[in-house]
């Protein structure tokens, strides 16, 4: 530890900390633009220059390491003059017309820095050279007139996401932010993760759907968990007037460290489905509005009349553990229904639970993927699902990561090669996904885990989406669409209708669908119960590496929608039942392949 004197105040920081780190600890606010806590220090904007006693000239605090007994002055006239110079230069470079920018009055770090220096106008006249706007991308717009060339977007795209789409062409004052070899962003290798937009300090990168809908201070921020895969990335939900505005990654979240993928960031805002607004019962060929009591009575009557072996019950993996818990208790424990199915084909979660019975803990945290020198990705397409895990690997490629990829699990020779070469590497990892981790592949899997035990490989299994893992621990396996029964009760929630779940529902005579959105599923149902979506229903989720996360409620639900827990509980009262099952202890009942952090 070293002691640093910031404006007369002594703070203790770790050896290797920068002057900026020390200043932050001392509460001294040094402005910066190109700096970002999640990116490697860059030292380009020069706004963070400070005076250091004994130094030849002003020192960039974001990159310079602090030393023991260093004396730093952050607000001298010389420092303020340099800051004004940097800001004046920036305003004179491009066309910074604040009045009609969506980031104005609070969300623009350039503007905020200028106001902090008591600047109210441009000291140098700009050239007024117009720069092209690239509006070719469906999710965001690149406005070069507002760009301050801080390169945060380029650095996120490269250093953190590992995609390297954004870059710069030309040099000096002709430098320009471009995609790939200077082609429209919409035609480039961009994977639409939107992290560049989130990291941009000015209004240069415009989020199409949320622009002008409110400054950060106008919006309500709620932390929640992304349900599109099982990584458990923490999303910040930004809402206004009970409406979803935008999603951002939480900077300090352990798994995603501020990043989101295109699915997690944009699928909810792109969702055009219509809500189910009222309970409905089929009369003849029509679905007719009814009230909850009526509907639940119909359902209860059907459930009581039909034998439990003629009933199938399904639940979406996107449902919370509390919802899953109520579902399991009511349908399996009380009604003795045996045909219970998860609306997901991915067997990874259930197979991992099965293997845990034999092997105990054999998996590692997902974060091991951020620091490895060789990786085999087997049976998982990280460009589709679990993309953030893909980012962790891709960004290590320039550093020499040896990456082997077999997403469809069709190349056994690749696995053999990896196993044979494993001693070449210090920190090898294996990522296994749904195309490899299947019940039909158990023998190979057993062999692999046996071998991993002796080798120094860390294993990561990607278990489907959202709560597939919690469902598997509770014994709910992927549904079999060939099962045909007299009654199906499907807790769809906000899950998308697809050919599999439609097929499952069609196999039953009487169909009860609990859903948030209208779809082919509600179209063919006999009873429709309005459900909440993930923004409205609070609950817990278990990530693929066993971390328990709480998805906070971000929106007030629509009037008649009920949470799954409430609707199942009310249904249970029709049977004289009170639901008491403890979901926490149910999770610890089974051996798991990774130690759960509950």
Q: How many residues does the chain have?
A: 598
Per CB under 8 A, which region of 2-10, 173-181, 358-366, 454-462 contacts other proteins?
A: 173-181
Residue 91 CB, shortest distance to other proteins, in Å, is: 10
Nearer to other proteins, 115 or 124 (CB): 124
Tell me: does residue 546 bind other proteins (CB under 8 A).
no
**Long-range Cβ pairs for the range 594-597 (8 Å, 24+):** 594/361, 594/363, 594/364, 594/365, 594/545, 594/546, 595/361, 595/546, 596/542, 596/546, 596/547, 596/548, 597/546, 597/547, 597/548
Tell me: does residue 67 bind other proteins (CB under 8 A).
no
Report the alpha-carbon distance of residue 386 to residue 465 in Å, rounded.
Answer: 9
Nearer to other proteins, 150 or 554 (CB): 150
Tell me: does residue 171 bind other proteins (CB under 8 A).
yes
List CB contacts of 576: < 8 A, sequence separation 6 or more.
none
Segments in 271-344 forming alpha helices (H): 292-305, 321-327
Nearer to other proteins, 130 or 138 (CB): 130
CA-based torsion, 474, 477, 478, 480: positive or negative: negative
Nearer to other proteins, 8 or 400 (CB): 400
Residue 165 CB, shortest distance to other proteins, in Å, is: 15
Q: Of 13, 20, 47, 342, which one interacts with other proteins (CB under 8 A)?
A: 47
Residue 89 CB, shortest distance to other proteins, in Å, is: 4
Task: Please report where in the chains the tokens 């699915």 appear, as a residue.
Answer: 263
Segments in 29-168 forming alpha helices (H): 77-93, 109-116, 152-155
Nearer to other proteins, 22 or 535 (CB): 22
Binding mask 25-44 for other proteins (x = CB under 8 A): ----------------xxxx
Whether 177 contacts 142, CB under 8 Å = yes
Segments in 248-347 forming alpha helices (H): 262-270, 292-305, 321-327
Nearer to other proteins, 77 or 172 (CB): 172
Tell me: does residue 496 bind other proteins (CB under 8 A).
no
Whether 207 contacts 138, CB under 8 Å = no
CA-based torsion, 462, 467, 470, 472: positive or negative: negative
Report the alpha-carbon distance of residue 542 to residue 450 in Å, rounded.
Answer: 26
Residue 81 CB, shortest distance to other proteins, in Å, is: 7
Nearer to other proteins, 168 or 496 (CB): 168
Report the alpha-carbon distance of residue 192 to residue 594 in Å, rounded.
Answer: 32
Nearer to other proteins, 129 or 455 (CB): 129
Per CB under 8 A, which region of 90-98, 102-110, 130-138, 323-331 contacts other proteins?
A: 90-98
Nearer to other proteins, 174 or 443 (CB): 174
Nearer to other proteins, 167 or 407 (CB): 167
Looking at the DSSP bridge assignments, the partners of residue 461 are 432
Tell me: does residue 63 bind other proteins (CB under 8 A).
yes
List Cα–Cα distances, 526 to 50, 188, 391, 509, in angstroms: 71, 47, 44, 9
Q: Of 2, 7, 9, 46, which one interacts with other proteins (CB under 8 A)?
A: 46
Tell me: does residue 296 bind other proteins (CB under 8 A).
no
Residue 20 CB, shortest distance to other proteins, in Å, is: 12
DSSP state of 8: T
List CB contacts of 176: < 8 A, sequence separation 6 or more.
131, 144, 168, 169, 170, 182
Structure token digits, residue 140: 């965001």
Binding mask 123-152 for other proteins (x = CB under 8 A): -x-----------------------xx-x-
Q: Of 90, 448, 452, 462, which one interacts with other proteins (CB under 8 A)?
A: 90
Nearer to other proteins, 167 or 475 (CB): 167
For other proteins (CB under 8 A), the number of binding residues is 32
Report the alpha-carbon distance of residue 37 to residue 257 in Å, rounded.
Answer: 10
H/E run at residue 354: helix 348-359
Tell me: does residue 57 bind other proteins (CB under 8 A).
yes
Per CB under 8 A, which region of 166-174, 335-343, 353-361, 384-392 contacts other proteins?
A: 166-174
Q: Of 71, 85, 419, 442, which one interacts with other proteins (CB under 8 A)?
A: 85
Tell me: does residue 310 bind other proteins (CB under 8 A).
no
Task: Please report where in the chains the tokens 């509460």 appear, as a residue.
Answer: 27
Nearer to other proteins, 66 or 513 (CB): 66
Q: What count of other Cβ atoms lies within 10 Å of the Cβ of residue 575?
A: 12
Report the alpha-carbon distance of residue 258 to residue 166 in Å, rounded.
Answer: 18
Phi, psi (rounded to 5 degrees) for 325: -60, -45
Tell me: does residue 175 bind other proteins (CB under 8 A).
yes
Nearer to other proteins, 57 or 120 (CB): 57
Report the alpha-carbon distance of residue 77 to residue 114 in Å, rounded.
Answer: 16
Whether 69 contacts 102, CB under 8 Å = no
Q: Of 5, 73, 93, 569, which one interacts with other proteins (CB under 8 A)?
A: 93
Q: Of 120, 121, 173, 285, which one interacts with other proteins (CB under 8 A)?
A: 173
Residue 90's Cβ-side half-sphere holds a number of Cα atoms within 13 Å equal to 27
Q: Of 36, 52, 60, 255, which one interacts with other proteins (CB under 8 A)?
A: 60
Q: Of 174, 181, 272, 284, which one interacts with other proteins (CB under 8 A)?
A: 174
Residue 54 CB, shortest distance to other proteins, in Å, is: 16
Tell me: does residue 82 bind other proteins (CB under 8 A).
yes
Tell me: does residue 162 bind other proteins (CB under 8 A).
no
Report the alpha-carbon distance of residue 422 to residue 56 in Å, rounded.
Answer: 50
Tell me: does residue 49 bind other proteins (CB under 8 A).
yes
| Closest alpha carbon to 269 in 235, 294, 297, 296 | 235
Residue 58 CB, shortest distance to other proteins, in Å, is: 6
Tell me: does residue 168 bind other proteins (CB under 8 A).
yes
Binding site for other proteins (CB under 8 A): 41-47, 49, 57-58, 60, 63, 65, 81-82, 85-86, 89-90, 92-93, 124, 148-149, 151, 168, 170-175
């Amino acid at each position: 530890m070293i002691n640093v004197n910031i404006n007369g105040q002594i703070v203790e920081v770790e050896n290797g900390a920068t002057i900026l780190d020390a200043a932050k600890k001392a509460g001294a606010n040094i402005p910066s633009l190109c700096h970002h806590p999640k990116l490697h220090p860059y030292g380009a904007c020069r706004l963070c220059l400070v005076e250091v006693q004994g130094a030849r000239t002003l020192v960039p605090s974001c990159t310079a390491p602090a030393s023991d007994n260093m004396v730093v002055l952050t607000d001298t006239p010389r420092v303020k003059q340099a800051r004004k110079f940097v800001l004046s230069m920036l305003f004179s470079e491009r066309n910074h017309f604040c009045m009609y920018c969506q980031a104005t009055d609070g969300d623009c770090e350039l503007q905020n820095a200028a106001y902090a220096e008591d600047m109210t106008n441009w000291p140098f006249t700009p050239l007024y050279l117009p720069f092209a706007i690239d509006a070719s991308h469906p999710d965001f717009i690149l406005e070069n007139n507002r760009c301050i060339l801080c390169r945060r977007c380029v650095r996120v795209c490269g250093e953190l996401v590992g995609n390297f789409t954004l870059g710069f062409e030309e040099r000096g004052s002709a430098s320009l932010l471009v995609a790939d070899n200077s082609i429209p962003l919409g035609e480039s290798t961009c994977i639409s993760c939107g992290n560049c937009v989130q990291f941009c300090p000015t209004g240069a990168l415009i989020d199409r759907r949320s622009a002008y809908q409110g400054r950060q201070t106008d919006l309500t921020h709620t932390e929640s968990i992304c349900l599109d895969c099982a990584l458990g990335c923490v999303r910040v939900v930004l809402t206004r007037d009970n409406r979803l505005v935008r999603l951002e990654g939480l900077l300090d979240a352990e798994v995603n460290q501020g990043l989101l993928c295109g699915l997690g960031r944009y699928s909810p805002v792109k969702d055009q489905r219509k809500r189910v607004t009222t309970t409905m019962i089929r009369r003849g060929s029509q679905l007719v509005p009814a009230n909850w009591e009526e509907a639940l009575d119909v359902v209860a009557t059907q459930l009581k009349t039909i034998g439990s072996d003629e009933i199938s019950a399904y639940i979406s993996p996107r449902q919370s553990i509390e919802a899953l818990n109520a579902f399991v208790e009511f349908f399996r424990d009380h009604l003795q229904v045996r045909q219970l199915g998860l609306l997901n084909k991915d067997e990874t979660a259930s197979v991992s639970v099965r293997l845990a019975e034999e092997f105990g803990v054999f998996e590692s945290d997902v974060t091991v993927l951020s620091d490895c020198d060789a990786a085999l990705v087997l049976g998982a397409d990280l460009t589709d699902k679990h993309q953030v895990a893909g980012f962790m690997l891709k960004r290590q490629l320039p550093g020499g990561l040896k990456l082997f990829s077999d997403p469809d699990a069709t190349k056994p020779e690749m696995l053999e090669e990896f196993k044979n070469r494993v001693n070449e590497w210090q920190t090898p990892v294996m990522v296994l996904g749904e195309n490899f981790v299947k019940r039909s592949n158990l023998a190979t899997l057993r062999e692999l885990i046996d071998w991993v035990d002796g080798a120094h490989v860390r294993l990561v299994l990607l278990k489907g989406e959202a709560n597939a893992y919690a469902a598997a621990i509770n014994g709910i396996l992927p549904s079999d669409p060939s099962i045909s029964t007299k009654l199906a009760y499907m807790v769809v929630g906000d899950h998308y209708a697809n050919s599999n779940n439609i097929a499952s529902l069609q196999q039953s005579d009487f169909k009860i669908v609990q859903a948030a959105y209208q779809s082919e599923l509600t179209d063919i149902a006999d009873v429709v119960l309005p459900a909440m979506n993930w923004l409205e229903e609070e609950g817990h989720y278990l990530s693929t590496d066993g971390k328990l996360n709480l998805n906070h409620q971000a929106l007030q639900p629509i009037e008649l929608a009920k949470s799954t827990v409430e609707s199942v509980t009310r249904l249970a009262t029709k049977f004289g039942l009170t639901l008491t099952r403890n979901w926490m202890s149910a999770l610890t009942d089974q051996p798991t392949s990774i130690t759960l952090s509950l």
